[in-house]
Amino acid sequence: MPGIYGMAILTILLTGLLCIEALNQLTHSSRRYVWLILAGLPLSLIVNQLIKTPLITSLAAWTETPLKLGLDAPFWLILLIGLNAPIFEEAIKILPILLPAARISLKDASQALWTGLALGMGFGLGEAAYLAHGIAQSPAYNQLPWYVFTGFASERLVVTFGHGLLTSLAVLGLSYGREKALFGYLTAVGLHALINLGPILSILKLIPSTVSSMGTYIAILVAFALFQKNISKAKRISGIEKTEIIYFER
């Protein structure tokens, strides 16, 4: 068995436990959000196999453009590669909101945040499995022992929580109504694009890999700051609503 599978199993189990514990702490051990992690698991496979890969390969074939990211690639191809994941991944991650059990969470800002966090975390865990399978197909990596893939483990841990933070912004936007829904989605897409910008610039050899990683982590920290801000705002709104309910009961 390729070593990447062993590291992927360990990474997914440990990251999954951390995700569940984080949700338990935030929701005071409400178990109803855990199933949303499961709902997000297959979404990476679906969006990659049915949307992202067919789209970019079809456009490359139609324009007779080599599907290779480099400085000699046309600007539209670089832009497409940069926006392909943010646009479609942020859309599919909120798709389970259509389920009646999940749609109820849109009535409350805090619940919307937890729902988006859980869906994004599930997507991130599924993405780790999807990427591990892709790495295992490469002759350059499939013979390496599991312990050399520590970089994969640390990156997937951070990115999984990053996916959760981004999706929480999109779902929160939905909970505020149609006017804020597009803003929430575009905020998630924009931050996702910033997270991916560093690796793309690194592949183009415009910045070193160390700078690339720093850019990714900074973008995730921005998403975390927005998440914290939205938690505080949701608590204030909830407090106002409770005060109003008590007032009208008197």
pLDDT in tens, 98-140: 888 788 888 889 999 999 999 999 999 999 999 999 999 999 8
pLDDT in tens, 50-59: 999 999 999 9
pTM of the entire predicted model: 0.92
pLDDT in tens, 70-89: 888 999 999 999 999 999 99
Q: How confident is the model at residue 238 (pLDDT cuts 50, 70, 90)?
A: low
User: By the 8 A CB rule, do 156 and 128 touch?
Assistant: yes
User: By the 8 A CB rule, do 231 and 168 touch?
Assistant: no
Percent pLDDT > 70 in the chain is 94
Mean pLDDT taken over the chain: 90
User: By the 8 A CB rule, do 164 and 19 touch?
Assistant: yes
Report whether pLDDT(178) > 90: no
pLDDT in tens, 2-30: 999 999 999 999 999 999 999 999 988 77
Q: Pick 247 or 77 by higher pLDDT.
A: 77
